[in-house]
Amino acid sequence: MGGTDGDGRDIDPKNVDPGDIDPAGAMIAVAFTGAVLALAGFGLSLVVGDAALVFVVLGVVVVLSSPVAYLRFRELRSGE
């Protein structure tokens, strides 16, 4: 399950350097985590009640802050 990257180098999926992960990939991971939190909170709110709505709000905040953080990071990187 290998492949090559844009430079033609072989990619080993078991050996990923943190520098290989693009900020867009990190943004997707954070947004996915926020979505999971929101969905888990919604599911728990049906059983537990209003106390689980904290997870819904937290998940939505994480999902919405992820693109904002990426745009800020891109703006800082373009200023170099």
* Model confidence pLDDT, tens digit, residues 9-41: 666 667 766 666 677 777 778 888 888 888 998
Structure-token match 């290989």, residue found = 20
Q: At 14, which amino acid appears?
A: K
- pTM as predicted: 0.59
Question: Residue 14: what pLDDT?
Answer: 73
Question: Residue 54: what pLDDT?
Answer: 87
In this prediction, residues 41-68 reach a mean pLDDT of 86
Domain boundaries, the chain: 23-78
Token duo for residue 65: 């802050």
11 vs 51, higher pLDDT: 51
Q: Which residues pair with 3 in a beta bridge?
A: 11
Angstrom distance (rounded) from CA 78 to CA 16: 25
